[in-house]
Amino acid sequence: MFSLRVLRNLPRTAARIYGPLRRPVAYSTLASDNRVSSEAPHPGNNLEATSDFVTLQTKPVPDAPQSLAFSPVAFLDYIRKPSASPLIFRASEERGRHARTNGQEFLQTLRASGDRLVEIEAGRDVQVSKDLRLPHDYRTSVTLNMYLDWLCGNQVGFPNAPWYLAQWLARDEVPGLAELVRPPQSLLAPLIEESKADLYQTGFFIGPASAMSPLHYDPYENLYTLHTSSDASVHGKHWLLLPPSLRLSPQLDRYMQPNMSALDFRLRRRRSGHRSEELEGSFDILVNRASVPGDAAQRVLDAETALSCVMREGDMLFVPRRWWHRVENVVLQDGGNFTPEGNSGQAAGWTVGVGWWFLPRSLQHKS
């Protein structure tokens, strides 16, 4: 029988990057009957039937122009601009050879350190048995091998939740991983080597479909890569991004951090008979206007400044500092999604995202 070893006072690794701004807790959209799975919502589920949920109109994150894609100097000039906004760098054959690692090779490297304990999180609004006696934030620790067995569908009896290994400092902890996973060679690595930018932290986000980080912002620039996955044709990451100009005041409770917002968003797969439909149009984004007091939700709806995209394996996304963002693992096509039915609690497919947090030298002493 599977058992969890709870670390109630485990130090927050995110303090190394945020200081007092610790990482957000991952939530699940599969929590209960009134929660809608972003992967395979029941046809009868209609969140908009309630007055609280409204569709948020978004624009696609712009593709990075070729002038930036392979020019560290041009990229540096761009991110120094106060008007810099998110850009997505789609995987190319040239960059793809350096940006990705075969999934099995990646897992084998991790398994060499499989006896180390890692902290995983289920999210505060999931249905997890009270017998587990998890702390308030639903974080616990298991061996890395045990988590990987579950992630690959081999661990029967794992507690049923989309367990997420989020913001893990794996390059510092797993021998050989720093050589296997390097800073983006086309953009960030040259800036670091030439002392034009400093890398503050590298965080790994490993988890199944439906694992999600709620709305928050980071104090550093982020060049995020979808490094590998169990199946590049099936699994990806959905991003919602909101500009800092919206000034979303965090609604704090005792477990939230100042870089977080309680504003609640859900994904709903947009059904279509056309398989050629663009990825950015595959999901509706619903905002719960009752999730926070005041007019924050309505201001987001009225501003019409929201951006969204779906990352595939090998893609890179530039997220300027202080841009609000919500990230969720999604299934790009039918099949392979996390399902809450039954007692097996097995994952079915996974992604590995890597966040490269950095600052250009000219921005390090600005507020």
SS3 letters for 261-319?
A: CCCEEEEEECCCCCCCCCHHHCEEEEEECCCCCCCHHHHHHHHCCCEEEEECCCCEEEE
Question: In this structure, which amino acid lies at residue 133?
Answer: R
Domain that residue 282 falls in: 15-35+48-363
Question: How much is the pLDDT for 122?
Answer: 80
Tell me, what CATH number does 279's domain have?
2.60.120.650
**Count of structural domains within the chain:** 1
- Residue 124 structure tokens: 């505060």
When pLDDT is cut at 50, 70 and 90, the band that residue 209 belongs to is confident
Q: Could you tell me if residue 6 is inside a domain?
A: no
Polymer length in residues for the chain: 367
Q: Could you tell me if residue 3 is inside a domain?
A: no
Contacts of 103 (CB under 8 A, 6+ apart): 228, 229, 230, 352
Q: Each residue of 306-350: pLDDT tens digit?
A: 999 999 999 999 999 999 999 999 988 654 443 333 334 445 689
When pLDDT is cut at 50, 70 and 90, the band that residue 364 belongs to is low
Q: Could you tell me if residue 242 is inside a domain?
A: yes
**In the chain, where do the E strands start and end?**
53-56, 59-60, 87-89, 117-121, 139-143, 165-168, 197-208, 212-216, 221-229, 235-242, 264-269, 283-288, 307-311, 316-319, 324-331, 350-360
**CA–CA distance, 99 with 256 (Å, rounded to integer):** 34
Entry pTM? 0.81
Handedness of CA 126, 209, 242, 260 (dihedral sign): positive
CA angle at 188 for the pair 26 and 70, rounded to the nearest 5°: 115
Q: Each residue of 237-284: pLDDT tens digit?
A: 999 999 999 988 665 555 567 788 889 999 988 765 555 444 444 899
Q: Could you tell me if residue 42 is inside a domain?
A: no
Helix (H, G, I), strand (E, B) or coil at 96: helix
Where does residue 232 fall: left (phi above 0), alpha (psi -120 to 50 degrees), or beta otherwise?
alpha
Helix, strand, coil tally for the chain in percent (to 5) = 20, 30, 50
Q: Could you tell me if residue 212 is inside a domain?
A: yes
Question: How much is the pLDDT for 71?
Answer: 94
Q: Could you tell me if residue 40 is inside a domain?
A: no
Residues 283-291: what's their mean pLDDT?
A: 91
pLDDT score of 17 more than 70? no
Question: 355: closest CA among 17, 40, 102?
Answer: 17
Q: Could you tell me if residue 2 is inside a domain?
A: no
Q: Could you tell me if residue 206 is inside a domain?
A: yes
**CA–CA distance, 324 with 330 (Å, rounded to integer):** 19
Distances (CA, A) of 82 to 48, 77, 116, 240, 320: 37, 11, 42, 20, 10
Which position has the higher pLDDT, 103 or 223? 223
CB atoms within 10 A of CB 119: 18
Question: How much is the pLDDT for 206?
Answer: 96
The per-residue pLDDT of the chain, averaged, comes to 77
